[in-house]
Amino acid sequence: MTHPRLSRSTPAAPVGIVHLGPGAFFRAFNAVYTADAMARDGGDWGICAVSLRSPEARDQLTPQGGAYTAVSLGPDGPAPRVIQSVSEVLVAPEDPAAVLDRMTAPATRVVSLTITEKGYCHNPATGQLRRDHPDIVHDLAHPDTPRSAPGFLVEALDRRRHAGTAPFTVLSCDNLPSNGHLARGVVLDFAQARDPELADWIAQKVKFPATMVDRITPATTSEDIERLAALTGYHDPACVWHEPFRQWVIEDDFTDNARPGWDAGGGQFVRDVSAFETMKLRCLNGTHSALAYLGYLAGYQTISESVADPAFAALCQKLWRDEILPTVPQPEGEDLTAYTGALLARYQNPSIRHRTWQIAMDGSQKLPQRILGPVAENLASGRPVPGLALVVAAWMRYVGGVDEAGQPIDVRDPLADHLRAVSDEAADPAAKVAALLAVDQVFDPVLAGHPVFRETVTRAYLGLCQHGAAASVTGYIA
Ligand code: CS2
C-alpha cells in the first residue's frame, strides 16, 4: 500500500538559525525545542538546516516542506508529533555560496552545530585544530568555498565583520567536553591562520556558549519509516524515533541575548554548564561506549539487549560507582545516584533499538573525553581503573577489525585504516596494545606511558583474547 507523503501544514517561519548537521539527533532535539519555543513565543526562529556532506536530509525534508515526524517511544507506545521548525535545507557541497549567504544574513542570529566529534577537525587527544586535516588545508586555500564547519564559520564571520553586521552566536551541541570552548578554539586557530585581525575580532565579539545535550536517538531505519506509515497513514522518510527523555543545559551567553525561548521545552539556561557536561559525557556516553565495544564483542546488537544481560547491567553500575562517579562533580539540582539509576532504565527501554555498532563508530574521537579523562583523574588520585581499562582494551579489539568468531567488523572511524594497520603490524597481543597506545591522536603520551594504565590495559586485552568479552565482564563484576 502506498501512503501520501507528509507535508507542511503551517507556513515556514523566517530563518533565524542556521544549523550545521541535520541528522537524526538534530531532528529529535534542537528542532523540537525550537518548535516548542516558537509555539509558546512565536518569533522568527525558523531553521535553515545545512548538510556539510550528503544530500540525504535535503532529499527527505524538502519534498515535505521541511516538516517531519518525531516519534517518542515511551511506555504507552509510540507518540508521533509533526515538527515544523525547519524552514529550509541546504547541501553545502552543492552550493557553499548559498550557505554562506544564509550565515551572513543579519536575520541569522544563531549558528548551531551537531556535526559530531570529527566535524571539529581537531586532534581528539589535545583539542587543537589539525591544520593538516585535508578539509582545513582546503578551506585555508579556498575560503569562498569551504567544506568544514570551521571554514564556514570563519568565512561567514569575516563577511559579517566587513558588512558591519553583529556576529551570530556559535552554539555547539556535540558530545564534547567544554564544547563551546572547543568550538571557539578551532575557530580562532583557523581564523589566526587566515588573518590575525579577524582572529582578534572573533575573540572579542563572538560568543560560543557551551551546552549539554541529551536524548537517545538511534539512526532511522526503513522499518521505522514503514512502521510510521502504518501508524499515521503517511510516508515520511525524514522521521526520527527517540526516547521520551530530553535534557538541554545551555550556558546563557548569546550575542545581544538573541535566542529562542528553548526553556519552553524544558531547556535550562544556566551560568555554567561544565558539571552537567561532565556528568552526562562520563556517566552516559562513557557507559554507552563500554556497552558498545564489550556488547558488540559479546554478540549483542543493541544497548537494550546488552543490558538485559544482568552482567552488563552490573558492569554499568560498577563502572559508575567505582570509576566514573568519583570523577564527576555534583551539578546543581542533580542527584547523581538517581541520575545513573535513570540511565539504566533508559538503556533498558526495549522499544529503542540503538545499535552497539552505531555507538562504536568514531571511537578514536570519543574515547578521550568519555573514558580516558576519567582514567587519568582516577590514576592521579591513586584509584585503580580495571573497568575503564577493560573498555579501552575492548575498543582495541574492536578496531583490530575481527570479532570473537573470526568475522570481520565494519569499523567506521576516521582513523580506521591507520588503527587497523597499527594493530596488524604488531606481532603479538601485548605488542598490539603498546602500538595502539602510541597513537597520539587518541592517547595523551603521559597517560600512554603510565605504568599502571599500560599494565591494566594489557592484562584486560589478553583476557579478551583468551576468554572473550562476556567472560571478561563477568570477571570484572565478580
Ligand atoms: C552515543 C550518543 O552514539 C553515541 O556515541 O553515546 O549518541 C548518545 O546516544 C547521546 O549522546 C545521548 O544523548
Domains 15-270 and 276-477 share a fold: no
285 CA to centre of ligand 1 in angstroms: 6
CB 156 within 8 A of CB 60: no
Nearest CA to ligand 1 atom 5: 359
pTM over 0.85: yes
pLDDT of residue 240: 98
pLDDT of residue 153: 99
Q: Where are the alpha helices (DSSP H) in 118-178?
A: 134-141, 149-163
Place of cell 570509576: 323
The residues spanned by each domain of the chain are 15-270, 276-477
Q: Residue 382: helix, strand or coil by DSSP? A: coil
Share of the chain above pLDDT 90, in %: 99
Nearest CA to ligand 1 atom 4: 359
Distance 1 CA to ligand 1 centre (A): 35
CATH number for the domain running over 15-270: 3.40.50.720
- For residue 324, report the distance from its CA to the centre of ligand 1, in Å: 17
Q: How far apart are CA 234 and CA 124, in angstroms?
A: 42
What is the CB < 6 Å shell around ligand 1? 175, 214-216, 284-285, 288, 358-359, 366
Looking at residue 75, its pLDDT comes to 84
Q: Which residues of the chain have pLDDT under 50?
A: none
Tallying the residues shown for the chain, one arrives at: 478
Q: What is the pLDDT of residues 361-382, one digit of tens each?
A: 999 999 999 999 999 999 999 9
What are the residue ranges of helices labelled H in 144-238?
A: 149-163, 179-194, 196-205, 222-232
Cβ atoms within 10 Å of 181's Cβ, excluding its own: 14
Q: Do the beta carbons of residue 445 and residue 451 sit within 8 Å? A: no
**Which one of 276, 280, 284 would you pick to mutate in the ligand 1 pocket, going by the greatest count of ligand atoms within 8 A of its CB?**
284
pLDDT value of position 138: 98
Taking domain 276-477, whether its CATH number is 1.10.1040.10 is answered by yes
Tell which atom from ligand 1 comes closest to the C-alpha of 175: 11
- Report residue 81: phi and psi, to 5°: -140, 130
Q: State how far the Cα of 188 lies from the Cα of 201, in Å rounded to an integer.
A: 10
**Residue 468 is which amino acid?**
G
pLDDT value for 236? 98
